[in-house]
Amino acid sequence: MTAAIPTPTTAPPPEERRRRAPLRGRLGDQAFAWALLAPAFVVLIAFTHYPIIRSAWSSAHSRRGDLSAVQYETLVNDPVFWQVLRNNLWFALGTVPTSMALAILMAVWVNGKLRGKGFVRLAYFTPTILPMVAVASIWLFFFSPGVGPINGLLGAVGLPTRNWLGDPDTVLPALMVMMIWKQAGFFMIFYLAGLQNMSPELEEASTLEGASRWYHFRRVTFPLLMPTTLFVFVVAVTDAFKIIDHLFIMTGGGPNNASNLLLFYIYDTAFTFFDPNYAGALTMALVVILGLAAVIQFTVLERRVHYR
């Protein structure tokens, strides 16, 4: 008499296993997942969603508490708002592309065969880890009219010195230089990670085909870095509209609002002039601007991103 040979069984697919699981177990998994997500939701609601809703509510009321559109009428007719918005757009236009271009160049350089590249990477990344107040103090010293090294260098070669932060024509470019110095090293880290994830066989294949390094970068490396570029672009644009710490230390928005930016103007309106309703209208303008920027980034630029 021969024993029966058991027939091999195959494990059911994950969807089938989940369907067969007891209802109590599935509810327990759902509760566990929501328990893990709850702290993040609480923080997000408390510090993002509620302030936006509160700002929208305040902007829809006059200072006497009446439901009114007077805050938005004031905003449209406020010349300081338009000057501040123009400053912010120029600031973003001057800092975002320059920071990203420098970050790519630095990442390509420190990713190659370079002696002491660990030290160079650290040197590039150091401005990122400095506190905002320390960075502002350093550049306040650099731009000082009497003792700053920039004017000292200009005077040594016979060029006229300037009051960089006291001149309406130079104060905004001076802030742009400081922002680029601080951000380029931070963005370099993301590009360096992207470059190190690329297969070296791609460059070897280009070399065998006789392609130049510039052609390889333009046709292979840069398209493969597009996901990193999209991420860095979103962060850079957001940072350009979030700068406020440096203005407290360096310029206070002056002279004559030449360096005043949108977030600093919102703070000034709410806590210096004690007008929370108008500050709410300014906040909603900032939210709309950043929302439009996000829509453009994730609709137009997303089509040019290659994830494989």
The string of pLDDT tens digits covering residues 95-152 is 999 999 999 999 998 888 777 778 888 888 888 888 888 888 899 999 988 788 898 8
pLDDT of 65 > 90? The answer is: no
pLDDT score, position 12: 62
Kindly indicate the confidence band of residue 279, based on its pLDDT and cuts at 50, 70 and 90: very high
The string of pLDDT tens digits covering residues 23-60 is 666 777 888 888 899 999 999 999 989 999 999 999 99
Rounded to two decimals, what is the model's pTM? 0.82
Kindly indicate the confidence band of residue 20, based on its pLDDT and cuts at 50, 70 and 90: low
Tell me which of 12 and 216 has the higher pLDDT. Answer: 216
pLDDT score, position 122: 83
The residue whose two tokens read 């085909």 is 209
Cα angle vertex 258, ends 71, 135, to 5°? 110
Kindly indicate the confidence band of residue 61, based on its pLDDT and cuts at 50, 70 and 90: confident
pLDDT of 3 > 70? The answer is: no
The string of pLDDT tens digits covering residues 284-295 is 999 999 888 888
The DSSP 8-state label assigned to residue 61 in this structure reads B
- Round the average pLDDT of the chain to a whole number and report it: 86
- Whole-Å CA distances, 261 to 98, 173, 222: 19, 13, 32
pLDDT score, position 19: 62
Average pLDDT of span 225-247? 88
CB contact at 8 A, 143 and 164: yes
Q: Is 24 helix (H, G, I), strand (E, B) or coil?
A: helix
CB contact at 8 A, 143 and 150: yes
Residue type, 283: T
Q: Is 254 helix (H, G, I), strand (E, B) or coil?
A: coil
- Token pair for 20: 């067969």
pLDDT score, position 307: 60
Per-residue b or e along 15-51, where b marks 16 or more CB atoms closer than 10 Å to that residue's CB: eeeeeeeeeeeeeeeeeeeeeeeeeeeeeeeeeeeee
pLDDT score, position 206: 85
pLDDT of 8 > 60? The answer is: no
Which residues 6+ apart lie within 8 Å of 133 measured at CB?
245, 249
Total Cβ atoms within 10 A of residue 107: 25
- Whole-Å CA distances, 264 to 66, 175, 272: 27, 14, 11
**Phi/psi at 61 (5° precision):** -130, 150
pLDDT of 173 > 70? The answer is: yes
Closest alpha carbon to 194 in 232, 225, 150? 225
- Token pair for 39: 């702290």
Kindly indicate the confidence band of residue 1, based on its pLDDT and cuts at 50, 70 and 90: very low
Domains of the chain: 79-304 (1.10.3720.10)
